[in-house]
Structure 1
Amino acid sequence: MSSAPPLFIVGCSRSGTTLLRLMLTQHPDLHIPPESEFLLSLYDQAELYGTFEAPHQRWFFIRDLQTTEVSMGAYAFPIFDLSIHAAETALAERAPTDFAGAAAALFEASAHEHGKTRWGDKTPHYVRHIEWLSDAYPEAQFIHMIRDGRDVARSRVEAGFTSSMRRSALHWKEEVQSGRDARQHLSDHRYHELFYEDLVHNPSSVLREVCGWIDLNYTEHLLTFDRTGDASVPDEHAHLHENVTNAVDPSRAQAWRTSLPSRDVADVEAVAGDLLRDLGYDLTGARVPLWLRVVRGLYRNGRAQARAVVQTLKRLGIV
């Protein structure tokens, strides 16, 4: 494996992981491709790949990368920007190796293809699998991006990931808590929490701190992502990252305050208020209206009864 430790950017989706990736991959020494996902989905095939010494083992791996969908129509192999021959060569040169070593060989080859010496990965969902990754890559460092759950829930609903603020809030809570639980098993040099709000309000100072933590020299070039970031997002994901060509906008932090109805804020705080408070976010104290709590309870027992109650409430002008 490379002497330079890999960097994993993780966190609940819509928490700013793409923004951080686009910033850090501007560094002349660090390359971070789009999301991989395959590190978990293909690990079950590790026995098929063996030690990667035989040509067919390497080709099986490349074939699976070509046919494994990482998210929303994007596939694993293209993230490396490597030809099939270059990928096969990188694997052959690394053999004998295990699955993690083979994946690292491709990440490193991709970094070298871009004239860089160190690789990283930005896959938000890996926040639930930090323990596995930390064992597979004993020197790896993890940046856990955290954003106000009310903004995350709003963004996830707007992106079409879910239609429920409550489910979105629960997803945020579980993802963030998974990352925070994992830090108990890692040293301070391997796990770092970075808050989205700090990044967009003070990008230069925060990036300077991050560079020091990952042992890279800081450069103002990291802030030029808005001029080059559009080329670093897969076409399949472009509609989710319409701001990548815009400079950092501090107003994107705490946007929920002007965009979320009180009822939605109440839903998120009811589900995840304890974690929001633990992270230092202020709660509004908004409460789900009594009538809505009653209707939801009725829905759990029978939708027809709940519809009848809603119609009655509407006739009375309550809703």
Structure 2
Amino acid sequence: MKRIQIIGTQRSGSNLLRVMLNQHHNVCAPHPPHLLKTFYPLLPRYGDLQFKDNFISLVEDMITWVKLNPVAWQGFNPSPNQIIDRCTSPTVFQAFKSIYDWETSLSGKSVWVCKSMTNYEFADDFEKENIFDHYIFLYRDGRDVALSFSKAIVGPKSAYYCAAQWNNDQIASIELQERLGEKVVALSYEQLIENPEVEVKRLFDAIGLDMPEDIFGFPSSVESRVTAEAGEMWKNVVRPVIPDNKLKYIDEMNQRDQQIYESVAGAALHALGYPVYYWPNQTLSFSEQDLDMMAAKEASLKKEAKSRTPLHDLNLRKGQDEFLLQLKQPKAV
């Protein structure tokens, strides 16, 4: 089994890349249920995982979580023991790995890709347990990422908070690339949409896979259709690569927000080769009052984004939302 993790920040073209990779005859790239982001903070609930009953309880809940994913994993219905039998130790990381292994075997494939992009946070554990063969660091101009987040149900909404998250994600991904060398393959979203044949071939060569002739037939794939039907923010995966889907911030982000963004993330933008207009000479500093005002704006924008989210999208997330509330309740003694 070959395992690949995409890292970086959401809204960077990761679903485009995921359905494209899933087009390969031997690659399983299901929509991510964000298992580690969800369950790692909940580990105290389960106690010492060396006790079999505790580990079974964790794995059982992780399986339920996958079943509630807004984009369904077709045919996914293992028992906890079928997942545990694939684990080499009782850890949440092994459970995560084994769940993806199970889905990949079920599909008759031998390579899987996880799109939970902030999983770079667990890189030390992945490396210790020898889980991943490669990481793909997918990056996009953070100002366009911010615009995309502003229209999505998930993620930060204002320039300051978008910049802070993007900046942290890029710095961590760059540091991981420096530490692991060729094991991390960097891929620019802008270059991917400008020269898809060249960039996809380079990516496949780097991760040791052949490039299928029908790789760009992904818009008509079942995975693309199911993903697009599951939410407004994924609707573009049934469209071909859009070469001009970039530099939107120039017309759509006001200058004040651009200056705020570069004040937080200008160094990372520059390091990744993006043009900067305010960093480093015209960056802003933020007082406590400024931060309070931006926090209030962020909360207001998140509330507004949720209010305009289609009911269909909210209903598809309802199962996981309600289950997570249950998991956060104290366990009955």
TM-score by length of 2: 0.74
Return closer, same or farther for 1:102/1:165 CA change in 2, 3 Å cut-off. Answer: closer
Residue 33 of structure 1 corresponds to 30
Answer with 176-185 or 252-261: which moved more. 252-261
The counterpart of 1:83, out of the listed 50, 61, 77, is 77
- After the TM superposition, which residues 64-103 of structure 1 pair with which residues of structure 2 at under 5 Å, given as runs? 64-68=61-65, 74=69, 79=73, 81-85=75-79, 88-92=81-85, 94=86, 97-99=89-91, 100-103=93-96
SS in 2 for 1:27: coil
Aligned 8 A contact 2:267 2:279 in 1: no
Residue 194 of structure 1 corresponds to 187
SS in 2 for 1:179: helix
Aligned 8 A contact 2:228 2:236 in 1: no
Aligned 8 A contact 2:6 2:117 in 1: yes
SS in 1 for 2:244: helix
TM-score by length of 1: 0.77
CA deviation profile, 1:202-232 (whole Å, cap 9, x unmatched):
1111111111111111113221121124345
CA deviation profile, 1:36-92 (whole Å, cap 9, x unmatched):
4223543536865438xx6x567424421145489xx7379x64742234x643533
Q: 2-side partners of 1:298 and 1:96: how far apart?
A: 49
Structure showing greater radius of gyration is: 1
Residue 181 of structure 1 corresponds to 175
Aligned 8 A contact 2:160 2:260 in 1: yes
Return closer, same or farther for 1:262/1:14 CA change in 2, 3 Å cut-off. Answer: same
Residue 137 of structure 1 corresponds to 130
Q: 2-side partners of 1:32 and 1:95: how far apart?
A: 20
- Deviating beyond 6 angstroms after TM superposition, the runs of 4 or more aligned structure 1 residues are none
SS in 1 for 2:160: helix
Q: 2-side partners of 1:101 and 1:16: how far apart?
A: 28
- Shift of residue 95 of structure 1? 5.5
Aligned residues: 287
Aligned 8 A contact 1:156 1:162 in 2: yes
The counterpart of 1:205, out of the listed 188, 198, 203, is 198
- Structure 1, gaps ≥5 residues long: 304-319
Residue 316 of structure 1 corresponds to none
- After the TM superposition, which residues 1-319 of structure 1 pair with which residues of structure 2 at under 5 Å, given as runs? 2=1, 5-39=2-36, 41-43=38-40, 44=43, 48-50=48-50, 56=53, 59-68=56-65, 74=69, 79=73, 81-85=75-79, 88-92=81-85, 94=86, 97-99=89-91, 100-160=93-153, 161-188=155-182, 190-228=183-221, 229-233=223-227, 238-285=231-278, 299-300=289-290
Return closer, same or farther for 1:255/1:127 CA change in 2, 3 Å cut-off. Answer: farther
- Shift of residue 180 of structure 1? 0.9
SS in 2 for 1:250: coil
